[in-house]
């Protein structure tokens, strides 16, 4: 069975699972009970998904890794489109935006399978698209924002990145200095980000910025920032692994923030 045909089969099966739950035969039920007793969480459906990804890895990724390493860049748009066509960039995302609507165990299964890629940069780049730049958008974004940024990310039509780390703050997220100040119907964004995986090829960035003068742990918002806006200054950092890491200086005007959930607005 071709990867495309398998993808269609998986989408139908997983859509049914999402709506109705998994209907098991007696043999499958025995296997499920055995797995549960031994602490296993993966079913035959998980394995189908893994097999679909493994075929892409063996055919479309691993044969080219050495060349990509020499070139210092992998073709993110091509790879992501292949994964998107197979339904692998939105397994936990809502079905109305092209996702499969499955639980997080399927993401864990895919993450394990990504370990079969013969480098570190490409699986990291994929993980940024599926589990760093898009989860908050899927949970808190408006329908308009989801259709503009989430749906094409799930389809593999665009590449996304996340802008959090800065010169003076990485894991200490509260210390970021980038600001987004509202001016009329826009936000004026001013700051800089570093170590942006996918940055040199990204179409949009999930950008963390200070949007108020409140306490450092409560004054921030995520902004869906198109990467084709004027005012950006890129500098490519020298780094191995196949994933583009860049330094980005930003002075631009844009309006598209993810609202802070009500529980965090106190």
The pLDDT value recorded for residue 136 is 96
Q: If you count DSSP H runs as helices and E runs as strands, how many of each does the chain have, helices first?
A: 10, 8
For residue 178, pLDDT beyond 80: yes
CA dihedral 176, 80, 201, 129 (to 10 degrees): 0
pLDDT digits (tens, 9 = 90+) for 137-170: 999 999 999 999 999 999 999 999 999 988 887 7
Q: Pinpoint the alpha helices (H) of the chain.
A: 3-20, 26-37, 44-56, 65-71, 76-85, 104-114, 121-131, 135-140, 143-145, 151-155
Higher pLDDT, 258 or 98: 98
The pLDDT value recorded for residue 207 is 92
The pLDDT value recorded for residue 252 is 53
The pLDDT value recorded for residue 96 is 97
pLDDT digits (tens, 9 = 90+) for 8-56: 555 555 544 444 343 333 344 444 444 443 347 899 999 999 999 999 9
What is this structure's pTM? 0.78
For residue 77, pLDDT beyond 60: yes
- How far apart are alpha carbons 24 and 22 in whole angstroms? 6
Helix (H, G, I), strand (E, B) or coil at 188: strand
Closest CA to 75 of 61, 88, 85, 63: 61
For residue 202, pLDDT beyond 60: yes
Tally of residues, the chain: 266
**Which single residue is written with the structure tokens 């191995």?**
240
**If you ran DSSP here, which 8-state letter would residue 24 be given?**
P
Pick from 180-194, 196-210, 232-246 the range whose average pLDDT is largest. 196-210
pLDDT digits (tens, 9 = 90+) for 222-231: 999 888 877 6
- The residue-averaged pLDDT of 205-216 equals 92
pLDDT digits (tens, 9 = 90+) for 110-139: 999 999 999 999 999 999 999 999 999 999
The pLDDT value recorded for residue 72 is 85
């Amino acid at each position: 069975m071709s990867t495309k045909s398998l993808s269609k089969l998986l989408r139908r099966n997983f859509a049914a699972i999402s709506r109705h739950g998994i209907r098991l035969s007696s043999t499958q039920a025995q296997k499920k009970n055995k797995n549960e007793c031994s602490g296993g969480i993966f079913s035959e459906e998980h394995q189908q998904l893994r097999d679909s990804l493994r075929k892409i890895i063996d055919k479309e990724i691993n044969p080219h890794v050495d060349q990509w390493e020499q070139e210092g860049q992998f073709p993110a748009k091509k790879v992501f489109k292949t994964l998107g066509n197979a339904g692998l960039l939105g397994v936990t995302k809502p079905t109305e935006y092209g996702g499969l609507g499955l639980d997080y165990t399927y993401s864990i299964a895919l993450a394990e399978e990504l370990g079969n890629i013969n480098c570190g940069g490409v699986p990291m780049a994929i993980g940024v698209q599926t589990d760093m730049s898009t989860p908050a958008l899927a949970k808190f974004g408006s329908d308009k924002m989801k259709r503009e940024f989430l749906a094409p990310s799930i389809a593999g039509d665009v590449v996304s990145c996340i802008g959090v780390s800065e010169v003076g703050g990485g894991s200490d997220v509260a210390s970021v200095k980038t600001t987004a100040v509202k001016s009329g119907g826009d936000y004026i964004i001013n700051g800089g980000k570093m170590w942006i995986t996918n940055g040199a090829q990204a179409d949009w960035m999930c950008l963390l910025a200070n949007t108020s003068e409140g306490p450092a742990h409560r004054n921030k918002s995520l902004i869906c920032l198109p990467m084709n806006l004027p005012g950006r200054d890129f500098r490519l950092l020298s780094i191995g692994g196949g994933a583009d890491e860049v330094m980005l200086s930003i002075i631009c005007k844009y309006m598209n923030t993810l609202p802070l959930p009500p529980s965090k607005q106190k």
